[in-house]
Structure 1
Amino acid sequence: MPPSGLRVKSPDLLIAESGADLEGHGLKRTMGLFQLVCFGVGAIVGTGIFVGLSDTVAQAGPAAAVSFVIAAVTCVFTAFSFAELGGAIPVSGSSYSYAYATLGEGAAFVIGWCLLLEYGVSVSAVAVGWGQYLNELLAGVIGHQLPAALSNAPGEGGVVNLPAVVVMLLAATLLVRGVRESARATAFMAVLKIAVLVLFCAIAFTAFKAGNLSPFASHGVAGVTSGASVAFFSYIGFDAITTAGEEVKNPRRTVPLAIMICIGVVTLLYCLVAFAAVGAMSADAVADRPAALSLIVNQVTGSTLGGGIIAFGAVVAIASVVLAVMYGQTRILMSMSRDGLIPRVFERVSPKTSTPVAGTWIVAVVFAAPAALVPLDVVLNLTTIGTLAVMAVVNVAVIALRRTRPDLPRPFRARLFPLTPLLGVGFCLYLMYGTGPATWAQFAVFLAVGALVYVCYGRPRSRIGARAGTDGSRVPARAGASVSTRDGG
């Protein structure tokens, strides 16, 4: 009998269970391609570019755009794997479900645990960035900012970051009202944030000075690598598209297409913004300025009006990321709850709104705490390494699924297989190396805690364990679906 952690949940069972949750109230398919692309852009474009740009420039200097390209290449290779798996297994669990279908229950739980970093902790980081631009907006509109005690974490000269808590509670309120309402709001905010970044580029390029790009790689290859690790945070969220698999029309076609469109649009936008920013105000001036885009526009235009517009766009942009990422976290927890690995409260869907109301509020309250009390730079690196680890596993999963289920319908197939997923793994490990020893140590502790939670709580309560029986035999869970162990197929 193989260890329980190696039990694999077949793609057929995953898809069968996605038709309705275990409480009898299913999610509704209301999102089309445009809404899903907007949802993806909404999940990606936010704190990483509006706030994190200055951190990338601090590491890479004028070569910051190269760092964004390296981070994008990592995402492109992994996006191929996400697109294939998202079309083949169109369910809400994203990386967690893919790991369950290929690598087994133990690996799936660890991936779900890491997704708490990508979605839960990252939404805290995003919320912190929202507060910084809110202050810029208030300064431009009324000439006053929130007191530092109420807008900064304790390690940054404050007592509590109140704006970060407020934006998370507002996002939760919108999410529990329904997916259709959330999708409409996200689409509006996605279009607005793209327009604001295009406006920034148009203004900044009027003051472009080629001399600001020299010396180009002022901090060397190591600086570009570290910058790429930081820049990667700007791309976190594109895989959130796969968490909407149960609420998308024609998901096998729509999910892969939306992933590729989002990566292309965002990469082009980020490179333009990086070049425009450094060209207009030099790398040294941009580095370590949290609201650098507003500062650049103020300097170029000679007034605070333009910077106020950029700050408004940033406030809207970052709020949409909070909304989209919190949505993704609740859907992943729902999938884990269905499997019995976490408490059942996360799988309950309201019959009135067709949303996981209780799970959404729990996520909002729990992750509002680090948003209110932890400095931004502390959570950025930990979120990045956790996300990269998840993406490395997704690339492995696409290889495993090709071997174990070659018959599974795949509307999108990763190009140049198996080269692209192997390159995806390599680039993920490369960027993980760039996060530094301290982050690796924190991540090791985080994984150890996750493994302990699985052994003590998840494994004894696994529903697949109950179905498979103590002898590890294959037992049908529903018509046409099965649970299997490694030696059972």
Structure 2
Amino acid sequence: MPAPRTKSPQRLLAESGADREGHGLKRTMGLFQLVCFGVGAIVGTGIFVGLSDSVAQAGPAVVVSFVLAAVTCVLTAFAFAELGGAIPVSGSSYSFAYAGLGESTAFLVGWCLLLEYGVSVSAVAVGWSQYVNELLHSLTGLQLPAVLSAGPGDGGVVNLPAVVVIALAAVLLVRGVRESARATAAMAVLKLVILVAFCAIGFTAFKHGNLTPFSPAGLGGIGAGTTAAFFSYIGFDAITTAGEEAKNPRRDIPLAILVCIGVVTVLYCAVALAAIGAIGGGQVGDRPAALSHVVDVVTGSSVGGAVIAFGAVVAIASVVLAVMYGQTRILLSMSRDGLVPRVFEKVSPKTSTPVAGTLIVAVVFALPAAFASLDAVVNLCTIGTLATMAVVNVAVIALRRREPGLTRGFRVPLYPVVPLLGVACCLYLMYETGWTTWLQFAGFLAAGALVYVLYGRRHSRLAAAPEVTPDPAAREPQAV
């Protein structure tokens, strides 16, 4: 068999301009902005809307599910931290797979990222619409008519609020990274404050009896709850898509990833305990906007619920913004390599952003947001994300062998045990999504392979200008 087309980290850096100034994207994001960007990408629909699904599966043991999902993320976060610092480019998982495993695998990873960064935007926007209605009801007693606030599968015609939030995010992204980073930071701080306030309110009504039985569905329920809880962590890897816009990516990207996972895990466990301890797992698992309901019950007023609903509206909007940012940067990297049309690599000289790519992404993913339901895509997003995370763990091993002299600001601890455990955890959670999701995912991958054969492989710039392997004896070793 012919060797896979791989692209060295050095070539990825050179082609992206990541190691020099004045080339397309601008370096404007420091550590604080990266952490806020990560929190902005993670904390949203998963905890504000998806908590009820996790609790319905695992009961009070959802706390264990959150921890297990976090362990999977942490194991893989080490891999992202190493590769994000060593190869600070916009392509994230796609670029890491290109360097470690070859072009065909990289294309399929980029294809899967359409689920994590693209289709999930549609799912998140649907969740945003639900909380907009909750906020309107809390403030005025009125709600948007179902015909304008839900897709056909949920008893409506078109989900207008979901389209609106995607359009607003696109406008902000087109204006510039600095403006987007400031907005994301402000929204991230606000939603953290609101979730901490929720915990304070929930724990005032905490009753130990509400935690029994702790695991009503046993280990199977905890496993299913872990898969559902994993959706709440999707987005932490989006930090690596800011590799070309971070001021000090080799130091800040690894640190930002690990800080985000730690903060979010503690927060999720606290929110779950506060909610279940206050009103019981049965009520939490039965309501999509569970956090607002908890506050209404505890305080006896709709005011607190309105505040939580407002926090959810802000939180979920920031997820749409951050995840759309990640999707446009993935497509930019793929376009540079010729694997998708060149329109996605065009960067505006005025705003230093991929304007055309951003608008295309907004239009394409506004359509399923307008007409699909949240449940229809959650499992597919989850399995696609887990697949890319497994590939990144494998890419760490491949690059340790192929590029031992590559400068790494952070190294995966206990190598190779940690990345292998990361792969095992990802595969287990993929198994828990069920055979129906596997069939959907297989069809999705088959479609991606067809697109690669018919378009990507033929237009590949690496095929037109193959990698030249230097004489190992002539290479100067790099500092580690």
Using structure 1 for the length normalisation, give the TM-score: 0.94
In structure 1, give the amino acid aligned to 2:381: T
Pairwise CA distance, 1:47: 0.1
Partner of 2:267: 269
1:2 aligns with 2:12: no
Change (3 A) 1:223 1:20: closer
- C-alpha distance after superposition, 1:135-170 (max 9, x if no partner): 111111122110011111111111111110000000
Hey, what's the Cα distance between the residues in 1 that align with 2:455 and 2:286?
Answer: 42
Hey, what's the Cα distance between the residues in 1 that align with 2:144 and 2:215?
Answer: 38
Pairwise CA distance, 1:250: 1.0
The correspondence of residues 203-352 of structure 1 with structure 2, limited to 5 A, is 203-352=201-350
Partner of 1:161: 159
Hey, what's the Cα distance between the residues in 2 that align with 1:425 and 1:436?
Answer: 18
In structure 1, give the amino acid aligned to 2:175: R
Q: Find runs of 4+ consecutive structure 1 residues off by over 6 angstroms.
A: none
Hey, what's the Cα distance between the residues in 2 that align with 1:29 and 1:80?
Answer: 24
Partner of 1:474: 468
Hey, what's the Cα distance between the residues in 1 that align with 2:468 and 2:184?
Answer: 43
Hey, what's the Cα distance between the residues in 1 that align with 2:57 and 2:297?
Answer: 23
- C-alpha distance after superposition, 1:4-63 (max 9, x if no partner): xx1000000001112179xx9510000000000000000000000000000000111111
SS in 2 for 1:8: coil
Pairwise CA distance, 1:115: 0.2
In structure 1, give the amino acid aligned to 2:2: P
Asked if the contact 1:60–1:223 (Cα under 8 Å) also holds between the matched residues in 2, the reply is: yes
Partner of 1:438: 436
Partner of 2:109: 111
Pairwise CA distance, 1:259: 0.3
SS in 2 for 1:125: helix
Partner of 2:147: 149
Asked if the contact 1:40–1:259 (Cα under 8 Å) also holds between the matched residues in 2, the reply is: yes
The correspondence of residues 324-473 of structure 1 with structure 2, limited to 5 A, is 324-468=322-466
Hey, what's the Cα distance between the residues in 1 that align with 2:380 and 2:279?
Answer: 30
Hey, what's the Cα distance between the residues in 1 that align with 2:415 and 2:328?
Answer: 32
Hey, what's the Cα distance between the residues in 1 that align with 2:449 and 2:286?
Answer: 36
- C-alpha distance after superposition, 1:203-240 (max 9, x if no partner): 01111111111110101101100000010000000000
Q: How many equivalent pairs are there?
A: 470
In structure 1, give the amino acid aligned to 2:118: G
SS in 1 for 2:362: helix
State the identity as a percent.
75
**Consecutive unaligned residues in structure 1, runs of 5 or more:** 482-489
Hey, what's the Cα distance between the residues in 2 that align with 1:162 and 1:282?
Answer: 33
Pairwise CA distance, 1:290: 0.8
Hey, what's the Cα distance between the residues in 2 that align with 1:78 and 1:430?
Answer: 14
Hey, what's the Cα distance between the residues in 2 that align with 1:467 and 1:399?
Answer: 26
Hey, what's the Cα distance between the residues in 2 that align with 1:226 and 1:378?
Answer: 17
SS in 1 for 2:465: helix
- C-alpha distance after superposition, 1:295-352 (max 9, x if no partner): 1100100010000000000000000000000000000000000000000000000000
Q: Does 445-454 or 139-148 show the bigger shift?
A: 139-148
Hey, what's the Cα distance between the residues in 2 that align with 1:403 and 1:441?
Answer: 34
Partner of 1:135: 133
What do you get for the CA RMSD once the two structures are aligned?
1.5
Asked if the contact 1:25–1:351 (Cα under 8 Å) also holds between the matched residues in 2, the reply is: no
Hey, what's the Cα distance between the residues in 1 that align with 2:155 and 2:234?
Answer: 28
Hey, what's the Cα distance between the residues in 2 that align with 1:348 and 1:48?
Answer: 33
- C-alpha distance after superposition, 1:418-457 (max 9, x if no partner): 1110110011011111111110110000000000000000
- C-alpha distance after superposition, 1:456-485 (max 9, x if no partner): 0000000000002xxxx7389xxx99xxxx
In structure 2, give the amino acid aligned to 1:16: A
In structure 2, give the amino acid aligned to 1:78: T
Q: Which residue, out of 159, 171, 184, partners 1:186?
A: 184
SS in 1 for 2:256: helix
Pairwise CA distance, 1:288: 3.3
In structure 1, give the amino acid aligned to 2:468: R
Hey, what's the Cα distance between the residues in 1 that align with 2:345 and 2:251?
Answer: 26
SS in 2 for 1:216: coil
Asked if the contact 2:18–2:88 (Cα under 8 Å) also holds between the matched residues in 1, the reply is: no
Hey, what's the Cα distance between the residues in 1 that align with 2:403 and 2:18?
Answer: 24
In structure 2, give the amino acid aligned to 1:252: R
Asked if the contact 1:138–1:144 (Cα under 8 Å) also holds between the matched residues in 2, the reply is: yes
In structure 2, give the amino acid aligned to 1:187: A
Q: Does 337-346 or 139-148 show the bigger shift?
A: 139-148
Change (3 A) 1:20 1:389: closer
Hey, what's the Cα distance between the residues in 2 that align with 1:384 and 1:393?
Answer: 14
Hey, what's the Cα distance between the residues in 1 that align with 2:18 and 2:387?
Answer: 30
Change (3 A) 1:437 1:288: farther
Asked if the contact 1:293–1:307 (Cα under 8 Å) also holds between the matched residues in 2, the reply is: yes
Asked if the contact 1:196–1:313 (Cα under 8 Å) also holds between the matched residues in 2, the reply is: yes
Hey, what's the Cα distance between the residues in 2 that align with 1:281 and 1:350?
Answer: 51
Hey, what's the Cα distance between the residues in 1 that align with 2:402 and 2:63?
Answer: 40
Partner of 2:478: none
In structure 2, give the amino acid aligned to 1:137: L
Asked if the contact 2:18–2:89 (Cα under 8 Å) also holds between the matched residues in 1, the reply is: no
In structure 2, give the amino acid aligned to 1:232: F
Hey, what's the Cα distance between the residues in 2 that align with 1:42 and 1:288?
Answer: 26
Hey, what's the Cα distance between the residues in 1 that align with 2:459 and 2:419?
Answer: 33
- C-alpha distance after superposition, 1:76-102 (max 9, x if no partner): 000000000001101000000000001
Change (3 A) 1:288 1:153: farther
Hey, what's the Cα distance between the residues in 2 that align with 1:373 and 1:57?
Answer: 27
